[in-house]
Structure 1
Amino acid sequence: MEETMSTRRRQFKADARQLLDRNFRFYLLLFLPIFIIMIVTAVPQWMNGAGVDNPGYNLLSLLSIISGLLTVGVSFVLIDLQRGVAELTEPVSKSFTIFNRGAYLWGAFALEIITSVFTILWSVLLLVPGIIKGLAYSQAIYIYRDYLDQGHKIGFLEAITLSRKMMDGHKWEYFVMQLSFIGWGIACVLIIPIIWVVPYMNQTMANFYVNLAAQEDESDEEPTVVSPVDDADQSTTESKPETPADGDEKTADNDDKTE
């Protein structure tokens, strides 16, 4: 199992590096608005740490929220790149993908709030259950977006439930993959520019989702997530995911155990 996880992790990273190395200029411009916000927010924080008064706390908080939303939209683009359904053109325009559709923006904002509340509630009990739940909810926004793009109706709680199902047996793999970038984070401070590390990490995470979504499509007679590549050849009727029970988020499920 560990060898399989390690092999998959290396493949996700290799695919990400291949895309990044061949199209670095595109990735640089794609992430440029995010990098600018990172710099704008980092300077006042540094000044505050140096003892300089910082009156713009509310503005910095707003910029942080915008940066998070932009990152979600960019992740949509990275998923499409891995699937081969997006062109490597107009990177700056694609940076603002989250604002291209109101449902994207509202979904990202709402799901972030809901999953944060659920995670905090679990963390109140113990830290570890909170971490596990956070990992389980991590793919909800991408599932939500895939359903929207295919014209399927899906609620926020449904997306969260489908994320939990998708991450069953993969939470530890996702956690280890995140940890594997700690060294890269240190390296970008000392040697490698952050403008390469951040796209590399995000593309790897996008590859992880694409792989899991494809597995769900292959294993289910009625796909949990409809792949844009496959959907063009399908004429099956629309299927609706199972609605989660009202008490779903109040009790721990056996499938949320750490692998």
Structure 2
Amino acid sequence: MFDRCSYKAQARARLKGRWLTPIIMSALSLVLLFSALSSAKNMAESESPLFPFFALAIVAAAGILLVSSSKIHLEISRTDGEIPHARIAESVGELWKRGARGGILLALWVFVWSLLFVIPGIVKFVSYSQMFFIMAENKNVGAARAMRMSKAMTDGHKADIALMAMSFLGWIFLSMLTSGIGFLWLCPYMATSFANAYSAMKIEAIRSGRLLPADFN
């Protein structure tokens, strides 16, 4: 059973009094990504020959930020007490290589499926949406294997995941009205909610036999 209301309520409870580190993580991620996208836009408009390489670097950086954020929010969803700020640097230092590979591989596969029209690309993106949680939790699982495991975990839940993402649209709109400042709180709320969903889907996938406990070792 996919209970998005429960996952979101658990996220609010877990984040209470523990917002500082996830807000710092969100701030760093948003500043880096917006700066990179702005630079990429300028390079594209100027038809710089370096644009393809810069775009690839952005995709890799996004993967690093996603896997690092996933690790931090999994910890928030499963533990009590304050999360040290140093955990951000520790996560990036530990996961940056696999995160970069994961970001590039995900972008490649979503792009390929998008060539068949937009909807297949969106479906595949949702299908692979758990790969960064998997890599964050399991240091011996590479990007390609994490994608296959994510596909198994999301079997039967792709619509649930999409509806959960859509349930944040109101908060996204309100955050835009605050000139983006609201995203500093919204991003941790969303990430922790999806971390809760990941944990539930992982248990279900093991119980149903779609994945084995050994797959996560």
Could you say which TM-score interval applies, normalised by the shorter chain? Answer: 0.7 to 0.9
Normalized per residue, the structure richer in helix is: 2
2:202 aligns with 213
SS in 1 for 2:138: helix
Over the residues paired in the alignment, what is the CA RMSD in angstroms? 3.3
Of 144, 159, 169 in structure 1, the residue corresponding to residue 146 of structure 2 is: 159
User: CA contact under 8 A between 2:152 and 2:205: conserved in structure 1?
Assistant: no
C-alpha displacement at 1:41, in angstroms?
5.3
Which aligned runs of 4 or more in structure 1 are off by greater than 4 angstroms?
38-46, 57-65
Distance 2:146 2:63 in 1: 19
2:109 corresponds to 1:122 = no
Q: CA deviation at 1:112?
A: 1.8
Pairwise CA distance, 1:123: 1.7
The answer to whether the 8 A contact 2:175-2:183 is kept is yes
Which secondary structure state, in structure 1, belongs to the residue aligned with residue 191 of structure 2? helix
Structure 1 position 23 matched with structure 2 position 18: yes
Give 1:169 deviation, angstroms: 0.4
Partners of 1:136 and 1:167 within 8 A in 2: yes
2:193 is matched by which residue type in structure 1?
T
**Pair 1:60–1:15, CA change in 2 (3 A):** farther
Distance 1:167 1:25 in 2: 31
Contact 1:69 1:109 in 2 (8 A): yes
Which residue of the partner structure matches residue 112 of structure 1? 103
Corresponding residue to 2:192 among 192, 203, 225: 203
Q: Work out whether 1:33 is the aligned partner of 2:20.
A: no
Aligned length: 209
Q: Which residue in 2 is equivalent to 1:80? A: 75
- Residue 90 of structure 1 is matched in structure 2 by 84
Larger Rg: 1
Identity %: 23
- 1:10 pairs, out of 5, 24, 27, with 5
Q: Which amino acid aligns with 2:199?
A: V
Q: Is the 8 A contact 2:71 2:137 kept in 1?
A: no
Structure 1 length-normalised TM: 0.67
Q: Deviations over 1:8-37 (max 9, x none)?
A: 111111111122233223332343322443
Query: SS of the counterpart of 1:22?
Result: coil
Native 8 Å contact 1:30 1:95 kept in 2 = yes
In structure 1, what is the Cα distance between the partners aligned to 2:121 and 2:171?
Answer: 26
**Residues 31 and 199, structure 1, Cα contact 8 Å, conserved in 2:** yes
Q: Distance in 2 between matches of 1:111 and 1:64?
A: 9
Q: In the alignment, which residue of structure 2 is the partner of 1:176?
A: 163
Structure 2 vs 1, CA of residues 22 and 202 (structure 1 numbering), >3 Å: closer, same or farther?
A: same
After superposition, the C-alpha distances for 1:28-63 in whole angstroms (9 at most, x for unaligned) are: 2343322443564587799x7xxxx9x9x9698657
* Bigger mean CA deviation after superposition, 128-137 or 185-194: 185-194
AA matched with 1:159: A
Deviation at 1:142, TM superposition (A): 2.2
Is the 1:74–1:94 contact (alpha carbons within 8 Å) kept by the matching residues of 2? no
Any unmatched runs of 5+ in structure 1? 227-237, 239-259
Change (3 A) 1:81 1:218: farther
CA distance in 2, matches of 1:43, 1:154: 33
